[in-house]
Structure 1
Amino acid sequence: MTASRWRTELRDVCELVLAPSIAAVLPWRWAFALMRQVLPHTPWYRSAADAAWREFEARPAHALLPATPAERNAIGAAWRAQRQLVSWVDHADHYLARSRGDAWMRDHLRVQGQWPQPGQAALLLTFHWGAGMWGLRHAAAQGLEPRALVASTEGEPFRGRAVLGWYAKARTATVRRALRCDPLDVTGSLRPAIKTLRAGGQVLAAIDVPADQAASAEAIRVLSMPAAVPRALHRLAVEQKVPVYVYLTGFNAATGERTLHIHALGVYEDASVLVRDVFAHLERAICQDSAAWHFWGEAPRFFRQTEPG
């Protein structure tokens, strides 16, 4: 094994195992308070936070942080520290979900809005924003059986990274455990999703994946920037005439208290209108906490260089 490979594996051990597993050992408020103070002084998640800040600062989205050039460095340091904290909480939830029951969720999660009734077919959409594990757990606790669309744990991102591969598989298993049902494989077609909806089930997905991973894309604007987003699930919701819900799971950066906001959008007749309404929620979430969006590092694949036609 090369020195570079050793460094990568060691970093993954620290960021994916050692640092986040602290949440399973200490009471949550203690773990959160400790890591909130410690993380800015560690290299954990720093390279990803630096890359995310560069993408954020290079785009018109930086207007979300009005500042003179002299203030930019201080604001950038705070933004990157918040990005490190978001990464830690997101990974910590894998260990929390394995070690804490629904009583923990009732104590720490503040919920606004309502899920569909059990047995009601619905599309449950969210984004790679905040830390979403407890949104899954809460949906299952309310009697829903959401079938999640999960990313592959094979391929180029995992090549030469044994710890990352193990963690991805373990996290997918945690998602399955949180939802109390198996995920859906729709790599070949959407037939499994159609079957689930027709049986009165729910299909759950993080919808802000780069459009180059999708067979069809919709051109929209997000944060005043042209973007391309997948439209297949939106089209499915229109064709199957099922209601759409958007939910966001975040946390209070000062206290660590978790938040879940559920928005019922209803049934749509136009997929393009639905796409715009869904992504308006992502835009508002980024305006609320821009560092909480995990895909700034993927921004070149998400945002377009030309205006939507």
Structure 2
Amino acid sequence: MHVRRVIDLLKRNGTDLLQLFLLPILLALLPWKIGFRLLRRMARQGLGDGPGVERAWQAARPHLPGQDAEAEEWKSRFRLLQLVERVDTWLVLFRSARWWSRQIDRTGTWPDHVGPFVLLTSHWGGGQWIWRQLHEAGIPAHFLARRVQAEDLGGGRLAMWFARVREFGIVRQGGCKVIFTGGSSARILEAFQHRHSVVGMLDLPATTSQAVLRRPLLDGEVVIPYGLLRVAAAAGVEVLMFSCSFDPDTGRRRLQIIEMPTAADVQAIASAYVEQLDRCLRSESAYWQVWSSAPLMFVRPGSDCAAAAAAVE
């Protein structure tokens, strides 16, 4: 039994070494047009596939009526998203600000003052490159994130090393240190005092200790935690919103900066956030990275928010 565990450990870490380090680094060193074409071919052929892709499809399927015939194409696009995210981890370290500026098509503009702001985005698309854009716009920002578990990125200890590389990439691009959730309010307020902004995402399953709001999404309703919005409101901090994605044909990056209603309250901001996520999912449902967790966010008609949050625990 001990030998079997050792073999399993070596397999998991060997897979992580190939899929998180060796292959993405090689592709990141190639001209991007060539690298992206190879990523598209890998996605179509199921290379780098894992149980996460099938779990994502099974979670998405009930909310995407009539798309069963397109299941393989959907999985290919979801797989492409995962592959691009891995390569981006290295591209943000290897490529210059000038190179990135040529790769991004931007809609909207950043504010002309420093802030601080709460910058809302979602797990739709992929935007590890956003920190350099914020730095160039003169917006120093922290990322508010949950602590990564090895199974979130891979299967073994090397996956945690990969998570450290991603954190380093944020700082390398001009971002501030990551703020981890769980008693984070004091650190968020401290960041505001230094005129630093905070980037956060609300499209995650809530825990029983988090306040949640219920909003319509696709064919159902979801509950989302909104503690970050309450902290922003209490501190009088302006809330902005943006989304990041890429063109599945060319690999060009897309940044959309969304103008929020003036003096919008927490309820209105939460509604605008989920409405934007809904538009994103209707335009490309396969780009939602957290589909596997979606069953913990969608709630049954007539159920209350507290019961939905308790179901996560």
TM-score normalised by length of structure 1: 0.89
Unaligned 5+ runs, structure 1 = none
In the alignment, does 2:24 pair up with 1:29?
no
SS, match of residue 173 in structure 2: helix
The residue correspondences of 1:231-270 to structure 2 (distance < 5 A) are 231-270=226-265
Matches of 2:263 and 2:181, distance apart in 1: 22
Matches of 1:92 and 1:11, distance apart in 2: 16
The Cα of 1:184 is off from its aligned counterpart by 2.4
Matches of 2:106 and 2:42, distance apart in 1: 29
Matches of 2:155 and 2:22, distance apart in 1: 20
Contact 1:46 / 1:80 at 8 angstroms: preserved in 2? Answer: no
Unaligned 5+ runs, structure 2 = 305-313
The Cα of 1:303 is off from its aligned counterpart by 1.4
| Aligned residue number for residue 169 of structure 1 | 164
SS, match of residue 35 in structure 2: helix
SS, match of residue 218 in structure 1: strand
| Aligned residue number for residue 64 of structure 2 | 62
Matches of 1:254 and 1:119, distance apart in 2: 35
Judged with a 3 Å threshold, the aligned counterparts in structure 2 of structure 1 residues 112 and 214 are, in CA distance, closer, same or farther, namely: farther
Contact 2:13 / 2:157 at 8 angstroms: preserved in 1? Answer: yes
Select between 237-246 and 129-138 the one with higher mean Cα deviation.
Answer: 237-246
Measured against aligned partners, the alpha-carbon deviations of 1:68-110 in whole angstroms (never above 9, x if no partner) come to: xxxx34x101000111100011111100001001111111111
In the alignment, does 2:71 pair up with 1:76?
yes
In the alignment, does 2:46 pair up with 1:51?
no
Contact 2:39 / 2:84 at 8 angstroms: preserved in 1? Answer: no
How big is the alpha-carbon RMSD for the aligned residues of Structure 1 and Structure 2?
2.2
Judged with a 3 Å threshold, the aligned counterparts in structure 2 of structure 1 residues 213 and 176 are, in CA distance, closer, same or farther, namely: farther
Contact 1:185 / 1:192 at 8 angstroms: preserved in 2? Answer: no
TM-score normalised by length of structure 2: 0.88
| Aligned residue number for residue 226 of structure 1 | 221
Judged with a 3 Å threshold, the aligned counterparts in structure 2 of structure 1 residues 206 and 12 are, in CA distance, closer, same or farther, namely: same
Judged with a 3 Å threshold, the aligned counterparts in structure 2 of structure 1 residues 90 and 125 are, in CA distance, closer, same or farther, namely: same
Measured against aligned partners, the alpha-carbon deviations of 1:203-252 in whole angstroms (never above 9, x if no partner) come to: 11122121127621112221131211011111122222322111111000
Q: Which amino acid aligns with 1:242?
A: V
Select between 248-257 and 189-198 the one with higher mean Cα deviation.
Answer: 189-198
| Aligned residue number for residue 180 of structure 1 | 175
The residue correspondences of 1:1-309 to structure 2 (distance < 5 A) are 1-57=5-61, 59=62, 61-63=63-65, 66-67=66-67, 72-73=68-69, 75-153=70-148, 161-212=156-207, 215-307=210-302, 309=304
Contact 1:241 / 1:267 at 8 angstroms: preserved in 2? Answer: no
Identity of aligned residues (%): 23
Judged with a 3 Å threshold, the aligned counterparts in structure 2 of structure 1 residues 214 and 175 are, in CA distance, closer, same or farther, namely: farther
The Cα of 1:9 is off from its aligned counterpart by 2.0
Q: Which amino acid aligns with 1:19?
A: L
Matches of 2:18 and 2:55, distance apart in 1: 19
Matches of 2:213 and 2:161, distance apart in 1: 34
Contact 1:186 / 1:193 at 8 angstroms: preserved in 2? Answer: no
Matches of 1:78 and 1:160, distance apart in 2: 26
Matches of 1:125 and 1:208, distance apart in 2: 10
| Aligned residue number for residue 311 of structure 2 | none
The Cα of 1:161 is off from its aligned counterpart by 1.3
Select between 264-273 and 279-288 the one with higher mean Cα deviation.
Answer: 264-273
Select between 34-43 and 246-255 the one with higher mean Cα deviation.
Answer: 34-43
Matches of 1:28 and 1:158, distance apart in 2: 23
The Cα of 1:266 is off from its aligned counterpart by 4.4
Select between 204-213 and 84-93 the one with higher mean Cα deviation.
Answer: 204-213
The Cα of 1:20 is off from its aligned counterpart by 1.9
The Cα of 1:135 is off from its aligned counterpart by 1.9
Matches of 1:120 and 1:266, distance apart in 2: 17
